[in-house]
Structure 1
Amino acid sequence: MSRQYSYPASFEESLTQALASFQLTLKDSKALAKCVLALSDYFIQKPEAPTPWNETWAQVAYLCYYLPLNASRLRGIVAEAEKRNFFQGLERVIDFGAGLATASLVLSEKQAFRFQLIERAAEPQKLIETFFPQFTAEEWQRTFSAPKLKDPQKTLAVFSYSLTELSDIPDWAYECEALMLVEPSTQQDGRKLLQLRQKLLDKGYHVWAPCTHEGPCPLLTQSKTDWCHDRVHFAAPEWFLKMEEQLPMKNRTLTMSYLLMRKTPAEKIPAARVVGDRLQEKGKDRQMICRGPEREFLAWMHKTKIEQEIPRGVLVQIPENDVQKVSNELRVQKEIQRL
């Protein structure tokens, strides 16, 4: 079974009303796609430039395209966090570089946090406050510094697609109990996140997900090209599929790199995380897993007639018996149990 997510149902009415303010509907596929392409072209031409929130086409593109996609990605991460009880004891969220408050909107579905949103542009705040009444922020701020930090021992600092332009998280974030870091699943951003993981471990933080261990990351230490990223399937609504027909980009699956870390130690789980797709090779299929500082692969030898498809990102139980270790392979003798 795949891990399938979509944006919250409450978004539909909000998107409808927001687009109506631009004289558009969710059925205006070509007009919506034109805005998405305009923003995509803008970032291709000016990759270091800030989001042009003052432009109508940028606002429409974020509402109808990036908000649904990023919300679906974040729902996958939040679901993983909830499985681990990651949010226990936390009361505040600082959403840095909040944009359209996507991370806060998703978190507020099930968590009764007090939200501080940090966003330089004024337009996202206006859109959220006008068209998303299901969400209320304690305050929006244009900048943030350590003196504004309230009760850091109960604070989750969220950086969702906002670290790309930074060399490190701000100093005040290291005072917070918990961190949620979400980045694009590119090699550059993914490896940068792995380097930050080690720095946070050195500063006393503990990894809650996706890692099931706190040793050196084998994708970083034993490879110059690998990076860790997760994947979920996107349950796209009909209006999104119609818009997507006008676009060169298709989004049946969504990828992201992420870290959930706290100063409080996580409960240890004797499991491995599947961090690769199934690779078909001569005589066997292999799938990379992570459970320690070594690069390891589950391996299904074709002669065993065992066929198993494990979605990337899920936790699996590695049996003490029924696997044969050969080099970096764990050769499977029976189906692996998902957790």
Structure 2
Amino acid sequence: MNRSFSIPQPLEESIAAALAQYKLTLNDSKVLAKHVLALSDFFISKPDGQTPWNETFAQVAYLVYYLPLNSARLRAVITEGAKRGFFDGLEEVIDFGAGLATASLTLAENQNFNYSLIERSSEPQKLIENFFPNFKAKQWSRAYGKEHSANPKKTLALFSYSLTELTDLPEWAYQCEAIMIAEPSTQQDGRKLLQLRQKLIDKGYYAWAPCTHQSACPLLTQSKHDWCHDRIHFEAPVWFQKMEEQLPMKNRTLTTSYLLMRKTKPAEIKAARIVGDPLKEKGKDRQMVCEGPEREFLAWMHKTGLQQEIPRGVLVKLPADLKKVANELRVQSPVEIYE
């Protein structure tokens, strides 16, 4: 099973149409790469600086590089939520720190909600309305930290790469029925999400994904270094690959740390999630798996002749004949992918 995500044709067409405003096409790989490098260099030199949305290089780099990559990450998170019915019954979305609304644009591909976007900078609103005229936001706001929903019981609070510099969610978010968070897959941001997960559970929320249980997170309670993050494969179109050939950054796989939480309890599933990449060791292969409060690894002993590589982030059904040795669940029969 290969968890792959590409750029949907409607999004690709919108990107091409927006580029035409700069007299560029998707085939201008060297020029596009030059703009991407300029924005990358800006982030490196000014890590705490605000994105220069008024600059052409930032606008083009967003369109051809950051939007496709972040949208693929978010599409994976949204797909996991949709499988479990996470978005059922919701009507409103509040996108906090929306930037150029990548999260809302991606969610709107398959979810018909009313979108309210909160962003301190005024420039992103103009750009989104120009680049993506078919996306209609209910409202834009530059006010952070206030209540923004008339009916929080039907509202999703959406945070995409906007919590990195915050110590906590804004207070109004805790009134919302659902919370979706996607952040960089760094150790610092990942472990911050583990702590936030427990705080949300203490406030009456239930974990829908990536967790399959409501117990304490073993990566938080039994490790000082681990953090939870997902990995997907990015099926880049030819134009993206040609642009990427001019860049030092390669993106065959993408990672993100995420949480989907609701005040409504999810339907119980008898499944565990693979939360680690394959580890090749002497005499065995291992992958970290999460099904409860214990930090555990599935282990395929070479002497049994069994061998599997399960994509990180996939739900699996654990065989009944697993043999537990210390923190290993030794596989005696094939592990089944949960559909």
For the aligned pair, the TM-score class normalised by the smaller chain equals over 0.9
The equivalent residue for 1:325 is 324
* Superposition TM-score, scaled by structure 1 size: 0.97
Alignment of 1:307-318 (within 5 A): 307-318=307-318
The equivalent residue for 2:12 is 12
The equivalent residue for 2:180 is 180
Deviations 1:117-148 (A, max 9, x none): 11122332222212213321111112244343
Q: Secondary structure at the match of 2:9?
A: coil
Q: Which amino acid aligns with 2:10?
A: S
Alignment of 1:49-68 (within 5 A): 49-68=49-68
The equivalent residue for 1:245 is 245
Unaligned runs of 5+ in 1: none
Shift in Å at residue 196 of structure 1? Answer: 0.7
Q: Which amino acid aligns with 1:316?
A: V
Task: Write the distance in 2 (CA, Å) between the matches of 1:123 and 1:236.
Answer: 28
1:24 aligns with 2:28: no
Q: Which amino acid aligns with 1:167?
A: T
What value does the CA root-mean-square deviation take over the aligned residues?
Answer: 1.1
Task: Write the distance in 1 (CA, Å) between the matches of 2:145 and 2:214.
Answer: 30
Task: Write the distance in 1 (CA, Å) between the matches of 2:267 and 2:20.
Answer: 47
Number of matched pairs: 338
Deviations 1:255-309 (A, max 9, x none): 0000000011111111110000110111000000001111111000001111111
Shift in Å at residue 240 of structure 1? Answer: 0.4
The equivalent residue for 2:110 is 110
Q: Which amino acid aligns with 2:324?
A: K
Q: Which amino acid aligns with 1:3?
A: R
* Superposition TM-score, scaled by structure 2 size: 0.97
Shift in Å at residue 52 of structure 1? Answer: 1.2
Task: Write the distance in 1 (CA, Å) between the matches of 2:135 and 2:289.
Answer: 38
Alignment of 1:1-339 (within 5 A): 1-320=1-320, 322-339=321-338
Task: Write the distance in 2 (CA, Å) between the matches of 1:302 and 1:148.
Answer: 56
Q: Secondary structure at the match of 2:219?
A: helix
Q: Secondary structure at the match of 1:146?
A: coil
List structure 1 runs of 4+ shifted beyond 4 angstroms: none
Q: Which amino acid aligns with 1:180?
A: M
Task: Write the distance in 1 (CA, Å) between the matches of 2:209 and 2:266.
Answer: 9
Q: Which amino acid aligns with 1:325?
A: K
Task: Write the distance in 1 (CA, Å) between the matches of 2:84 and 2:183.
Answer: 21
Please say which of residues 136-145 and 61-70 is displaced more in the overlay: 136-145
Deviations 1:194-241 (A, max 9, x none): 111111111111100000111111111111111000011001011100
